[in-house]
Structure 1
Amino acid sequence: MHGDLQELGRAVKQAQYRQHRALESGLSAIGATLAQWDALRAMSRSPGASARELAAATFQTEQAFGTLAGRLVAQGWIERRPGRGRRIEHHLTPSGERVLEAGHKVADEVLARCYIPLSDGDRETLLALLQRLIAKDA
């Protein structure tokens, strides 16, 4: 039993690793990394979010996200604005919006290649199964 579970865990990790490598390669062509594009995507979904919220959304520590956000500010892709109290809000700049959109195109192409061996039905099933696993932990 545990051998099958370990094999399943390894297969999920291999698929994720392959997907991340392909995304990193594709995004490098537009001058971004996967972590940067993921941060821009999170900010687009939650304009004005705090570093704590964005760190959680991008699976990073607050410290790691703060370092990343500093680089995004230096690149002119985001800006930080004062919010209520001590809160600092994060917003995309027009340049960041352009990088985000270019990243969406890259991701669509890369992910289409990653999942081409699966039929539409297989992809729907895989998504449903993964969402069920994620919901179990929520």
Structure 2
Amino acid sequence: MREPSEVGLAVKRLQHRHHRALSKALSPLGLSVVQWDTLRHLDRNPDASLHDLAVLTFQTDQSFGSLAVRMAERGLIERVPGPGRAVRHRLTDEGARLRAEGQAAADAIVAASFDALTPEQLDDLGALLDAALGADPTA
């Protein structure tokens, strides 16, 4: 029987493999994984706040604020005033283009990673991960 720590390590190794492969695939686009992840979340959450994007990308507000400024300077996102002191973020046309190209690379990487699984096994794995995430009150 596998120990939970072994399973956790396998999940982390798979995530690390995806991260390395995606870093390599995004490099020709001039994007880091964190930048692409920001574009991906903005595509799904237009007008998201800095704090919301920091949470979605696993960063602090301060580190995400620096990243957002650099991405705006590159023309990948726009920072627009929101209610009160809030700043909202939107994809530019260039950001949307690079997000789509990065998404194609990410989809190929993840699909290849799970190629050895049958569709049923993939469904089972997804359900098991959902159950494990649901069991964690800090998630």
In 2, the alpha carbon distance for the partners of 1:122 and 1:46 equals 31
Which range moves more in the overlay, 126-135 or 74-83? 126-135
Residue 104 (structure 1) aligns with: 103
Point out the more displaced range, 5-14 or 91-100. 5-14
Q: Distance in 2 between matches of 1:6 and 1:66?
A: 34
Q: Distance in 2 between matches of 1:124 and 1:68?
A: 35
Instruction: Report what 1:21 is aligned to.
Output: 20
Between the aligned residues of both structures, percent identity stands at 44
The structure 1 segments of at least 4 consecutive aligned residues displaced by more than 6 Å after TM superposition are: none
* Unmatched runs of 5 consecutive residues or more in structure 1: none
Superposition CA RMSD, Å:
1.5
**Aligned residue number for residue 51 of structure 1:** 50
Aligned residues: 137
Could you tell me which residue of structure 2 aligns to residue 126 of structure 1?
Answer: 125
User: Structure 1 CA distance, aligned partners of 2:53 and 2:94?
Assistant: 19
Partner-residue secondary structure (3-state), 1:29? helix
**CA distance in 2: counterparts of 1:60 and 1:125, whole angstroms:** 30
TM-score, normalised on structure 2? Answer: 0.92
Please give the secondary structure, in 2, of the residue aligned with 1:95. helix
- Residue in 1 that maps onto 2:7: 8
